[in-house]
């Protein structure tokens, strides 16, 4: 993998002020998750890992289905893992393909991650670290829904 950004970013306090995001650990967790992917149809395994606002790490991999529309992406599995391990908000996110190269979440997955983001959530992108607001500007979220009656 040709890299123009450092694997470990130091001094990045993220949103919780609890210390630097260990991007190398997130990368390793995403690669580990990718190795567990079930991708017999596309042959495109994907792994994702995220750091929660309370310091936990969650991960997910894609799980394909012969009925392609039922395929689960790595980000969906990650959000399921988030809720199964205590819920919370995502602080930092990393996604990789079979070669360990960085993948950007598609629009659908950006929307999913937006729903569960901590303020100023960061994502590792092919262009370096960006905030969720940079990768999904003017996003629609729960705050735009009318209050229940």
* Distance of alpha carbon 57 from alpha carbon 59, whole angstroms: 7
Residue 6's contacts (CB-CB under 8 Å, 6 or more residues apart) are 23
Q: Which of 27, 75, 115, 122 is catalytic?
A: 75
Q: Is 75 a catalytic residue?
A: yes
C-alpha distances (whole Å) from 100 to each of 47, 68, 134 are 9, 24, 23
Q: Which is it for strands 90-96 and 117-125: parallel, antiparallel or unpaired?
A: parallel
Residue positions annotated with a catalytic role: 75
């Amino acid at each position: 993998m040709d890299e123009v950004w450092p694997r470990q970013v130091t001094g990045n306090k993220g949103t919780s002020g609890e210390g630097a995001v260990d991007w190398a650990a997130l990368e390793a967790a995403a690669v580990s998750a990718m190795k567990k992917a079930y991708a017999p149809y596309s042959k495109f395994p994907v792994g994702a890992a995220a750091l929660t606002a309370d310091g936990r790490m969650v991960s997910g991999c894609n799980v394909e289905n012969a009925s392609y529309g039922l395929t689960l992406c790595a980000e969906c599995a990650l959000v399921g893992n988030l809720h199964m391990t205590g819920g919370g908000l995502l602080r930092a996110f990393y996604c990789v393909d079979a070669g360990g190269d960085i993948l950007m979440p598609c629009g659908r997955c950006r929307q999913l991650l937006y729903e569960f983001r901590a303020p100023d959530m960061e994502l590792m992108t092919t262009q370096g670290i960006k905030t969720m607001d940079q990768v999904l500007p003017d996003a629609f979220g729960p705050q735009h829904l009318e209050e229940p009656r």
